[in-house]
Amino acid sequence: MFSLEIDEIKEKYIESGKIAAKVRNFGLKLIKPGVKLVEIAEAIESEIINNGALPAFPVNISLNSIAAHYTPSLDDKTIISENDYVKLDIGVHVDGYIADTAVTIKPSGKDKLIECVEKILEESIKIIKPGVLISEIGNIAESIAEKYGYNIVRNLTGHCLERYNLHTGFTIPNIRNNSTHVFETGKAYAIEPFCTSGKGYIKDSSELLIFCWKKNTATRLYEARKILELSKEKYKGLPFAKRWLEKDLKINKFLIETSLRQLISSGALHPYYVLKEISNSSVVQAEHTVFVEEKPIIITL
């Protein structure tokens, strides 16, 4: 029975991975100079649904020194420029089993910084198998970054995945470390290096576009109660965008903002602040999800 359950779980991951890869490639074709970020995000999320899955988090489209957690609002006027580093980070889930994948594209053409992060991802996933120390990923990542002359973003990591849980268990550092954790059979892992020409650290900005449910709390605001209901029941406790609330609740932005502030203050919601590189240098990202067996499966390839 146990092996059957593992097989069923694996098939769910494989299905979500195939959809994530398909949608990532669909999204890459949309990234062109002059196109609005919100148009790309809305098209990608619709494509996920059209393929029989759901977004595991709002599509992240982070430009240049923004490392992660940027998803456009409905009235976002930001457009792609030819020399932007565009990080496209997509999460897909089938029945809660998540595939997480990311790629960086520069409309003017791939350069050494993008080559570096892609090489790190390629070499990292080659060594994954049951029992391998996760510290091996950091050894590979930092060695390759040094050869290219760039820095790893030291305070962003890969992560374990579980059903309806995007970041769980231990983290997977992209720097040299002494972790004794190992990759385990039947588990899914997101391998996710970030490289930069800057100092290699990110910090929270003041901008906040993505949230997730933490707990229910008492609130007098009807709109806040509706946000909690949506975040737990419809979004299944996974990260959601302010943009989604604007569409699902159909109430004015002031009430949404007021409700979100109250829910964060009470500890009901977790805020994902937009992350920026501390020296304002460009950041690139690459990511695949791996389901570990004796012969591991890169489900988002």
Which amino acids are annotated catalytic?
A: 89, 100, 159, 167, 192, 287
Q: What would the two tokens of residue 243 be?
A: 């943009």
Beta strands (DSSP E) in the chain are 54-63, 66-68, 86-94, 97-105, 151-152, 158-162, 165-172, 188-191, 194-196, 202-213, 240-241, 269-277, 283-285, 288-291, 297-298
Residues 180, 252: Cα–Cα separation, whole Å: 50
* Contact between 139 and 170 (Cβ < 8 Å): no
* Residue 219 DSSP symbol: -
* Residue 174 DSSP symbol: S
Residues 181, 163: Cα–Cα separation, whole Å: 20
Q: Which residues, at least 6 apart from 31, have a Cβ–Cβ distance to it below 8 Å? A: 40, 80, 86, 88, 105, 107
Q: What would the two tokens of residue 34 be?
A: 């002059």
